[in-house]
Amino acid sequence: MASKRKYKGIDQLSKRDKIVVSLMVIVPTLLVLWLVWFPAVGTVLLSFTNWDGIGPLSGIKPVGLQNYIDIATIYPPFWPAIQHNLIWLAVLFFIATPLGILFAVLVDRGVSGTRFYQTSIYLPVVLSLALIGFIWQLIYSRDQGLLNAITGGTTDWYGDPDVNLWAVLVAASWRHAGYIMLLYLAGLKGVDPSLREAAKIDGASETTTFFRVILPVMRPINIIVIVVTFIESLRAFDIVWVINKGRNGLELISALVTQNVVGEASRIGFGSALATIMLLISSVLVVIYLRIAMKED
Amino acid sequence: MSVTSNRADEGQQRLIKPHEGGARSGKRWLLPLALTIISLIWLFPLLLALVNSFRDYAFTAQNGYMSWGGFTLDNYKNAWSQGDFGLHFWNSLIITVPAVLLTLFLSACVAFVVARFSWTFNIALLGFFLAANLLPPQALLIPVYRMFRAIELPFWFSESGTLLNSFQGLILVNVAFQTGFCAFVLSNYMKALPKELYESAVIDGASVTRQFFQITLPLCRPALAALAVLQTTWIYNEFFWATVLLQQGDKYPVTSSINNLRGQFFTDNNLVAAGSVIIAVPTLVIFFVLQRHFVAGLTLGATKG
């Protein structure tokens, strides 16, 4: 009987326990291996081949870096997409994220009605970016949009390739700032209040206190916020896909990959090479994130 | 005992207690004013959608959006029938509920093993799951898409005959992606539970299964609740996989069906607004009713408990 077993510490396992523990690890591991890691490796491998997506897998020939060369030279949307992703990153990094941090600091000062302010600012976070693209159409639409109604202009904010990226970025920043505020607020609440006291006694102004005391002790959350910003800009997809499937001024790498797979002309090699570039960039971010998130262990 | 409720209590106290060095007496009104303006700007797009969803198209077309009047409920009636929301909400439901439950169960299993036993590969295992959560899904699309198309299923299991175009496939993908984040949060939570609990259980001869279901899971209820709320929102909002893996419009969950809606409603912004509000309602309800859990779930991942 189990109860008569000699107690040998909490890690002792019966035969049945061992099977249960193994299953608890193996089942989720296999699922993630199958649907995340195996496809990730597959993407990288396919990017070096000429598979057209129709023939059998045995007909695949390696073509070296040809797909990458083609992307860079004869695939017109590629460089605009890179540029747009970088602009996306720059706007989130230099505008939306600092704005979110500023909001967090303001809300954290604890004036009355904080709950209302906090709630209003992060309300967009619960909406999908696809829906956000839709809601902002009420402001941006050419014929009935609020923006044109006020300014009397005739700009098609979602359609004009000169302005649509910026219009979309306003909407994306609207959500991102709320998200960052939420993350940062949690970090601020964890800061030891005695630090603030000490700085105050030493006669530091509030601005100095924030930049010299609070910001440095929030280092882990700062890095998380930065990595989240990078990942979000790399993953940006929903909002442009909803608007025009990532064409005509709204090219993003994620949208190009999808176009190459789902669209009429499926170019697997192309798509895979683009996807591999995404994986490469994200792997750097993932490593940074993991190092911070799991530092304690 | 519970990290989440402590955190929330702390939050409450902080809300009540103003910072000592806060607003200086002379400019006390400045901060609330600034925050009020910011809040109103942030709420504006949503309020615009809400107000205009209740207004007659002919009226706003003639008088513009800066006018007032022409209220009606017709937009909702039309949006509901044209957008076929009954069907899409049902689709969302049968995708989201199993996906959330499965994600929580599998991630709780992983987290339990990682937190309960001290094995060398624990960190690597957690990293393996968490990293999976952070990869851009588009980068994995090609192999997943091709595999799903190649895997044949019996017709009693999936109408389409393959994993592509099936709810089961979509649920699995969602679970695979979300397990990492949940396992990470739950393992941090479980590590905070005292080891003595397991000690007495082991002495009493309780099997691992019983320890998991009768000790660990009940104690993790706050974290599980927070994650359930967060995951429900995320999977309901999930757009990419649903759009590419379910290729028939009638299988789309609500969020992906936005695209169908767009073509039909393109000329009538008030209808668009009504459709948007309908789509937002479930997440907004979750947000207002279970806000504490939503915030707790999101911040549990970023700042360790």
Q: Chain B residue closest to A201 (CA)? A: B21
Task: Give me the pLDDT at residue B293, please.
Answer: 82
pLDDT confidence band for B38 (50 / 70 / 90): very high
* Chain B residues inside the 8 Å CB shell of A258: 138, 141, 240, 244
Fold of A66-293: MetI-like fold (1.10.3720)
Q: Test A111 with B286 for CB contact under 8 angstroms.
A: no
The nearest alpha carbon in chain A to B231 belongs to A126
**Chain A residue at shortest CA distance from B176:** A32
Please give the structure tokens belonging to residue B143. 């192999």
Residue A135 near chain B (CB below 8 Å): yes
Kindly determine whether residue B45 and residue A136, on different chains, have CB atoms separated by under 8 Å.
yes
Query: How many angstroms separate the CA atoms of B11 and B287, rounded?
Result: 17
Chain A residues with CB-CB distance to B146 below 8 A: 53
Residue B117 with chain A: CB contacts under 8 Å: 11, 21
Q: Per-residue pLDDT tens for B253-305?
A: 988 887 766 654 456 788 888 888 999 999 999 888 888 887 777 777 665 43
pTM for the model: 0.87
Closest CA to B23 of A110, A103, A190: A110
Beta bridge partners of B71: B55
| Record: contact B22-A110, CB cut-off 8 A | yes
Contact B298, B4 (CB under 8 A): no
Q: Which two tokens stand for residue A278?
A: 């995404």
Q: Chain A closest CA to B70's CA: distance in Å?
A: 16
Q: Which residues of A touch B299 (CB under 8 A)?
A: 182-183, 185-186
CA distance A184 to chain B (A): 9
Are the beta carbons of A5 and B299 separated by less than 8 Å? no
Answer yes or no: do A242 and B233 touch at CB < 8 A: no
Indicate yes or no: CB of B298 within 8 angstroms of CB of A182. Answer: yes
Residues of A with Cβ-Cβ distance to B140 under 8 angstroms: 35-36, 39-40, 43, 275
Cross-chain Cβ contact B140/A36 below 8 Å = yes
Task: Give the start-to-end residue ranges of the domains of chain A.
Answer: 66-293
pLDDT value at B37 more than 90: yes
Contacting residues for A296 by C-beta, under 8 A, at least 6 apart: B304
The answer to whether the Cβ–Cβ distance between B175 and A31 falls below 8 Å is: yes
Q: Indicate the residue of A39, A123, A190 with minimum beta-carbon distance to B287.
A: A123
| Averaged pLDDT for residues B175-198 | 89
> How far does CA A96 lie from the centroid of its chain?
13
Q: How far apart are CA B242 and CA B60, in angstroms?
A: 35
Residues 6 or more apart whose Cβ sits within 8 Å of residue A95: A173
Provide the chain A residues 30-69 that lie in CB contact (below 8 A) with chain B: 31-32, 34-40, 42-43, 46, 53
Distance in angstroms (rounded) separating the CA atoms of residues B30 and B34? 6
From the number of C-beta atoms within 10 Å of its C-beta (0-12, 13-18, 19+), residue B176 rates as buried
Mean model confidence pLDDT for chain B: 82
Residue B181, pLDDT > 70, answer yes
Between B3-16 and A164-189, two packed helices, what is the crossing angle to 10 degrees?
100
For residue B155, give how far its alpha carbon lies from the nearest alpha carbon of chain A (Å): 22
Q: Is B167 within 8 Å of B159 (Cβ atoms)?
A: no
Q: Do B239 and A42 touch (CB under 8 A)?
A: no
Distance CA B272, CA A136 (A): 10
Task: Indicate the helix (H) or strand (E) that contains A137.
Answer: helix A137-140
Q: Are B235 and B96 in contact (CB under 8 A)?
A: yes
| pLDDT higher at B244 or B102 | B102
For the residues of chain B, what is the DSSP string, one character each? --HHHHHHHHHHHHHHS--TT-S-GGGTTHHHHHHHHHHHHHHHHHHHHHHHHTB-HHHHHHH-TTS---B-SHHHHHHHHHTTHHHHHHHHHHHHHHHHHHHHHHHHHHHHHHHHS--TTHHHHHHHHHHHHHS-GGGGHHHHHHHHHH-B--TTT-TTSBSTT-HHHHHHHHHHHHHHHHHHHHHHHHHTS-THHHHHHHHTT--HHHIIIIIIHHHTHHHHHHHHHHHHHHHHH--HHHHHH--SGGG--HHHHHHHHHHHHTT-HHHHHHHHHHHHHHHHHHHHHSHHHHHHHHHHHHS--
Which residue in A138, A141, A274 has the most chain B C-beta atoms within 10 A of its own C-beta, making it the best mutation to test that interface? A138
Residue A142: count of CB within 10 angstroms of its CB: 15
Helix (H) or strand (E) holding A19: helix A15-32
- Compute the distance between CA of residue B287 and CA of residue B280 in angstroms, rounded to an integer: 10
- Dihedrals phi, psi of B163, to nearest 5 degrees: -70, -30
Residues in chain B with CB shorter than 8 Å from the CB of A191 are none
Count CB atoms within 10 A of the CB of residue B266: 12
Q: Is the pLDDT of residue B1 over 60?
A: no
Per-residue model confidence (pLDDT) at position A6: 57
- List CB contacts of B47: < 8 A, sequence separation 6 or more: none
CA B145 to chain centre: 24
Distance in Å, alpha carbon of A287 to nearest chain B alpha carbon? 8
Per-residue model confidence (pLDDT) at position A155: 84
Q: Do A282 and B18 touch (CB under 8 A)?
A: no
DSSP A159: T
Q: Decide if B179 and A28 are in contact by the 8 Å CB cutoff.
A: yes
Of B38, B46, B139, nearest to A135 by CB-CB distance is B46
In this prediction, the residues of chain A whose per-residue pLDDT falls under 70 are 1-10, 53-55, 263-265, 296-297
Task: Judge: B113–A24 Cβ closer than 8 Å, yes or no.
Answer: yes
Domains and CATH numbers, chain B: 29-56+71-302 (1.10.3720.10)
Distance CA A291, CA A219 (A): 13
DSSP state of A6: P
